[in-house]
Copies of this chain bind each other. A is one copy, B any other.
Amino acid sequence: MILSVMEREIAWGDLDALGIVFYPRYYEWMDAAGHQFFKTIDLNLYDLWEKRNIQFGLLETSCRYFKPGRYGLKIKIKTRLEELSKKTVLLRHEIQQAADEKIVEGFEKRICLNVTDIKNFKSMDIPQDLFAVLENAGRD
């Protein structure tokens, strides 16, 4: 199973008035981690859009918060493919402190879209070549 890891340091601009991470930031990082996951398995989402008019749009996202993230903390966002269906993928993200202690866990469920008509996206089956790559990435 492919596990993609992105590292970052919690910055001043990520904090709210309590001195802890303002929670939408975690979703920004999960989105970036998802893109990196796709790159890791040689699927560049931007190229997929430009060359084949395919995108993976969002159906659902979710996070559970275990500990507050604080200034200067070095974190890891570990991403793996947890579910794959004909049209959808579910990416699972764990955000950990240095010592492998989980601070946030979340997922993004995405659906394969034909975006040729930029004003009217249509869901579609994941093309076979992409499905094969994703299936392989999720295999234990």
Binding site for B on A (CB under 8 A): 11-13, 15-19, 22-25, 27-28, 31-32, 35, 44-46, 49, 55, 57-65, 68, 71-72, 115, 118, 121
State whether B31 touches A12 (Cβ < 8 A). yes
State whether A60 touches B58 (Cβ < 8 A). no
State whether A12 touches B27 (Cβ < 8 A). no
What separation, in Å, do the CA atoms of A3 and B15 have in the docked complex? 26
Q: Provide the residues of chain B in CB contact with A44, threshold 8 Å.
A: 72
What separation, in Å, do the CA atoms of A24 and B25 have in the docked complex? 7
State whether B27 touches A68 (Cβ < 8 A). no
The 10 listed contacts between A and B (C-beta, < 8 Å) are: A11-B31, A12-B32, A13-B24, A15-B16, A16-B17, A17-B49, A24-B25, A46-B71, A46-B72, A60-B65
